[in-house]
């Protein structure tokens, strides 16, 4: 099923969730984060340049102004390439595994693949985070030797932090795929 | 261990009350009476009067820092989002499963998070 719906993040920013079904056992869910606002960019740049101009008025050294321009440019590039995440997506392939992709604003993409034998379940967990209690989706990993215990927890959608309504949609989609591996014959 | 009033507790309370008044009067004497008068009485080895101002100042700053410190300790001991402590702990892992009995209240146990999720989020309303 295709479609984009509007949702909210934990801090109130608008998000959109896009679901695509590639086949009966393969689904892709992508959460797009809000773009970099022009007003916050202008506010940060003006603040840095005002501070630099104030410093220049104090010490009369023109290097301060050039350093401020260079810092603003370098800071923006580093922010776009390492910090600002544009879209986080989850690709669930029933017989193969789960692939988590984060794409940054500069175009960089970082992916992680977890094979299906290590995946115990995908659940919505609640935890205390920065003086708030938030719901977040996470993959529970199991040790192949110990199928009862949870060896690791991988939180998903860390920078977009969608709210519970969006998480329930993603959870239901994932559970439909994960249920298939119980009904399908086990192949070792 | 009840908090009811007892004769021993009344005596301890009164002794503490008298002791705290004595300590306060002693502190005021140390802080205000000039050094020459104390020397003429024979009390030469008392601490410097600088400390009569410094110690309360240190105490108040320590109380203020204590607020920030407690907040920080709380933040540090909160489990991060990727730790298994948000899902289970030693007691839950080692719990025994009691058999289900008819007509009896089920025994208290830790329900696994997968079951809880299925119950909350999967049934269609």
Contact A152 B82 (CB under 8 A): yes
Q: Average model confidence (pLDDT) for chain B?
A: 91
pLDDT value at residue A188: 45
Q: A132-148, pLDDT tens digit by residue?
A: 999 999 999 998 888 88
- Helices (DSSP H) in B1-125: which residue ranges? 7-32, 35-41, 50-77, 90-93, 113-121
In three-state secondary structure terms, A84 is: coil
Instruction: Decide: A3 and A29 in contact? Cβ < 8 Å.
Output: no
pLDDT value at residue B124: 67
Q: Alpha-carbon dihedral of residues B78, B81, B82, B87, nearest 10 degrees?
A: 80
Which CA distances in Å does B56 have to A82, B2, B50, B51, B62? 48, 35, 11, 8, 10
Residues B54-64, mean pLDDT to the nearest whole number: 96
Which CA distances in Å does B119 have to A11, A81, A154, B14, B125? 27, 41, 22, 60, 12
Q: How far is A120 from chain B (nearest CA, A)?
A: 9
> Helix A38-59 crosses helix A63-78 at what angle (to 10 degrees)?
160
Q: A24-53, pLDDT tens digit by residue?
A: 899 999 999 988 889 999 999 999 999 999
What strand order describes the sheet that includes A152-155? A119-129, A132-141, A152-155
Chain B residues touching A155 at Cβ < 8 A: 81-82
Q: How far apart are CA A166 and CA A176, in angstroms?
A: 16
> Which residues have a Cβ under 8 Å from the Cβ of A134 and sit 6 or more positions away?
A10, A126, A127, A161
Q: How far apart are CA B95 and CA A106, in angstroms?
A: 49
In three-state secondary structure terms, A80 is: helix
Q: How far apart are CA B50 and CA A49, in angstroms?
A: 47
> Helix B7-32 crosses helix B50-77 at what angle (to 10 degrees)?
130
Q: Average model confidence (pLDDT) for chain A?
A: 90
pLDDT value at residue A4: 66
Q: Which of A167, A13, A35, A182 is nearest to A90 (CA)?
A: A167
Closest Cβ–Cβ partner in A123, A129, A151 for B114? A123
Q: Which of A15, A23, A17 is nearest to A4 (CA)?
A: A17
Q: How far apart are CA A28 and CA A2, in angstroms?
A: 10
Measured in residues, chain A has a length of 188
Contact B88 A150 (CB under 8 A): yes
What is the CATH number assigned to the segment(s) A3-33+87-183?
2.30.29
Q: How far is A108 from chain B (nearest CA, A)?
A: 24
Q: A164-173, pLDDT tens digit by residue?
A: 999 999 999 9
Q: B17-30, pLDDT tens digit by residue?
A: 999 999 999 999 99
Closest Cβ–Cβ partner in A121, A127, A149 for B86? A127
| Domain ranges (residues) in chain A | 3-33+87-183, 38-83
Query: Above 90 in pLDDT, residue A3?
Result: no
Q: A56-67, pLDDT tens digit by residue?
A: 999 988 888 999
Contact A128 B83 (CB under 8 A): no
pLDDT value at residue A122: 95
Contact A125 B86 (CB under 8 A): yes
Q: A73-128, pLDDT tens digit by residue?
A: 999 999 999 999 999 999 999 989 999 999 999 999 999 999 999 999 999 999 99
**Pairs from A74-77 (Cβ < 8 Å, separation ≥ 24):** A75/A48, A76/A41, A77/A106
Q: Exposure string (b/e) for B20-35, b if CB count within 10 Å is 16 or more?
A: eeeeeeeeeeeeeeee
* ipTM for the whole predicted complex goes beyond 0.85: no
Q: How far apart are CA A5 and CA A136, in angstroms?
A: 19
pTM: 0.80
Candidates A114, A127, A131, A163, partner chain B, best to mutate (most B CBs within 10 A): A127
Judged by a CB distance cut-off of 8 A, whether residue B78 touches chain A is: yes
C-alpha torsion sign, points A129, A135, A137, A138: positive
């Amino acid at each position: 099923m295709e479609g984009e719906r509007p949702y909210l993040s934990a801090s109130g920013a608008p998000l959109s969730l896009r679901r695509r079904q590639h086949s009966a056992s393969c689904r892709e869910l992508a959460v797009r984060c809000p773009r970099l606002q022009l007003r916050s960019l202008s506010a940060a740049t003006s603040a840095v340049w005002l501070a630099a101009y104030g410093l220049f008025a104090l010490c009369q050294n023109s290097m301060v102004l050039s350093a401020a321009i260079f810092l603003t440019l370098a800071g923006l590039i580093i922010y776009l390439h390492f910090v600002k995440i544009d879209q986080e997506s989850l690709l669930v392939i029933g017989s193969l595994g789960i692939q988590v992709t984060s794409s940054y604003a500069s175009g960089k993409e970082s992916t992680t693949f977890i094979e299906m034998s290590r995946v115990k379940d995908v659940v919505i967990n609640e935890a205390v985070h920065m003086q708030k209690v938030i719901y977040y989706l996470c993959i529970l990993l199991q040790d192949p030797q110990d199928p009862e215990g949870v060896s690791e927890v991988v939180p998903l959608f860390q920078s977009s932090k969608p709210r519970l309504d969006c998480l329930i949609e993603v959870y239901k989609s994932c559970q439909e795929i994960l249920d298939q591996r119980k009904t399908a014959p086990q192949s070792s | 261990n009840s908090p009811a009033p007892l004769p021993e507790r009344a005596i301890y309370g009164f002794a503490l009350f008298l002791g705290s008044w004595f300590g306060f009067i002693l502190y005021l004497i140390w802080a205000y009476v000039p050094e020459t008068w104390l020397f003429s009485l024979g009390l030469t080895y008392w601490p410097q009067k600088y400390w009569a101002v410094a110690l309360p100042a240190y105490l108040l700053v320590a109380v203020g820092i204590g607020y920030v410190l407690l907040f920080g300790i709380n933040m540090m001991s909160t489990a991060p989002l990727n730790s298994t402590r948000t899902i289970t702990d030693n007691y839950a892992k080692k719990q025994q499963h009691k058999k289900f009995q008819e007509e009896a209240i089920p025994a208290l146990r830790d329900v696994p998070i997968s079951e809880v999720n299925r119950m909350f989020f999967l049934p269609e309303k």
